[in-house]
Amino acid sequence: MKYKRILLKLSGESLMGNDNYGINYQTVYHFASEIKSAVEMGVQVGVVIGGGNIFRGVQGASKGFDRRQGDQMGMLATIINAMAVQAVLEELDVKAKVFSAEEIEGVSEKISWRKSVETLEAGYVAILGGGTGNPFFTTDSGAALRAVEIKADLLLKGTRV
Ligand code: UDP
């Protein structure tokens, strides 16, 4: 069966490659190339990205940070990762837009299921950052939410490669 629309969840850690933290260029390049192949086959690709390679609210709280603030930091981390994936997709001549719960001018547009679907139908990869937009949730919940919102045929989860 050929899928028309998929939602790919990439954990933050999956972007580290063999590094101990941060974003590994070659690893992002690998994911971006895979996404490009899917797009070339005519599949609409939405991507939800985690932030665990940069910050997790729970871990921050265990070290003394306020959990709510830490979760907001974690959500911002997902947007940094989204920007990395967007940058490499664009290098590969794949059009990609970043969305997040709140607009960041020049970086990401405010998310809505309608805009996400329009973006996919226009041939862009829609990178859905910021998780659900709420503290106390994870990007896995965000991926499930966005998958039903965009009516994805398939939800795929990539953890560490
Ligand atoms: N986060 C949040 N609400 C969400 C999604 C994420 O508060 O809806 C925060 C939370 O602190 C989480 C961090 O962002 O630890 C990074 O997301 P996650 O841990 O899901 O990333 P992954 O494990 O996929 O790298």
- pLDDT of 152 reads 98
Any atom of ligand 1 within 6 Å of the Cβ of 11: yes
Atom of ligand 1 nearest to the CA of 71: 11
What's the 127 CA to ligand 1 centre distance in angstroms? Answer: 15
Question: Which atom belonging to ligand 1 lies closest to the Cα atom of 136?
Answer: 7
- pLDDT at 158 (0 to 100): 82
d(CA 123, CA 56): 32
Let me know if 49 is exposed, middle or buried by CB neighbors in 10 A (0-12, 13-18, 19+): buried
For ligand 1, whether the C-beta of 138 sits within 6 Å is yes
Distances (CA, A) of 36 to 29, 31, 93, 148: 10, 9, 9, 23
Question: From the CB of 100, is ligand 1 less than 6 Å away?
Answer: no
Residue 1: predicted pLDDT: 65
Q: Which atom of ligand 1 is nearest to the CA of 12?
A: 25
pLDDT of residue 160: 61
**Nearest CA to 39 among 91, 105, 89?**
89
Residues 6+ apart with CB under 8 A from 30: 161
pLDDT at 103: 94
Mark the ranges of the chain whose per-residue pLDDT is less than 50: 161
Report how far ligand 1's centroid is from the alpha carbon of 41 (Å).
31
Closest ligand 1 atom to residue 139 Cα is 20
Is the CB–ligand 1 distance for residue 9 below 6 Å? no
Find out whether the beta carbon of 130 lies less than 6 Å from any atom of ligand 1.
no
